[in-house]
Amino acid sequence: MRLGVFGGTFDPIHIGHLVAAQNAMHAAKLDRVLFIVANQPWQKEGTREVTDAHLRYLVVTQVLESIPGLDASDIEIRRGGLSYSVDTLIELNTAHPDYELFLVVGADAALQMPTWERAEELSRLARLVIVNRYGYPTIDNVLDFDEPILAEMPWLDISSTDLRERVRDHRPLQFLLPETAIDAIEVHSLYRGDEVIN
Ligand SMILES: Nc1ncnc2c1ncn2[C@@H]1O[C@H](COP(=O)(O)OP(=O)(O)OP(=O)(O)O)[C@@H](O)[C@H]1O
Ligand SMILES: O=C(O)c1ccc[n+]([C@@H]2O[C@H](COP(=O)([O-])O)[C@@H](O)[C@H]2O)c1
């Protein structure tokens, strides 16, 4: 099994995430991609309130249940505490020693990887797949990963940050994220007063 490991805050999940995962799957010939919902995205803390992890996981699960090959994982929520990709890869390697793991990241996340917890351990745990992202330079080497796989996707200038601002400003969301996620934002009254913490 060639398994893609795609971490995110998914607050909310959007079309950029889905297109990135599909193109990573194609480029790296992956059998499945796991969307790992971060419990506490420590590098995003202090800037704004992150939506409850169980609710973010519920919405990701609902969106992915109709999409073949993409699965939601609550492995970081069950582990609790700050979310470190290195711990997730170790846990997956231990549970599935026969799987080949591929860490999937957008170009913005790839640029940040040297700042991740125990970053120097990552390259012995998984291969790396980098998906291009609008607004960020394409990079083809990170840390000491051996030949990262570059996954091409159409530039989609979609981010969770912009979607939260759209909700707050009553601007349209349609086609930027799945209907299921739009419904969840409505039902749970998410992002209405999304405040930036200074
Ligand atoms: N539009 C996009 N194109 C390519 N990759 C993306 C896109 N949006 C998100 N990603 C990738 O998805 C992963 C998870 O991203 P995340 O959940 O933080 O979404 P985000 O839109 O960047 O959120 P925020 O705006 O709140 O920072 C990261 O690896 C990120 O690079
Ligand atoms: O392991 C870490 O220390 C670490 C720090 C920041 C981000 N990550 C991973 O990268 C994912 C996307 O990061 P970000 O900041 O672009 O949303 C995030 O959800 C984690 O899976 C991992």
Cα-to-centroid distance, 144 and ligand 1 (Å)? 23
Q: What is the CATH code of the structural domain delimited by 2-158? A: 3.40.50.620
The residue whose CA is least distant from atom 4 of ligand 1 is: 133
Three state DSSP letters for the chain: CEEEEEEECCCCCCHHHHHHHHHHHHHCCCCEEEEEECCECCCCCCCECCCCHHHHHHHHHHHHCCCCCEEEECHHHHHCCECCHHHHHHHHHHHCCCCEEEEEEEHHHHHHHHHCCCHHHHHHCCEEEEECCCCCCCCCCCCCCCCCEEECCCCCCCCHHHHHHHHHCCCCCECCECHHHHHHHHHCCCCCCCCECC
Q: Please state the rounded mean pLDDT for residues 164-182.
A: 97
Pocket of ligand 2, candidates 85, 104, 128, 164: which has the most ligand atoms within 8 Å of its Cβ, to mutate? 85
Span 87-127, pLDDT tens digits = 999 999 999 999 999 999 999 999 999 999 999 999 999 99
The residue whose CA is least distant from atom 1 of ligand 2 is: 84
Q: Please state the rounded mean pLDDT for residues 20-27.
A: 98
The CB of 8 under 6 Å from ligand 2? The reply is yes
Domain ranges in the chain?
Answer: 2-158
Record the pTM.
0.96
Per-residue CA distances from 190 to 11, 99, 166 (Å): 10, 37, 11
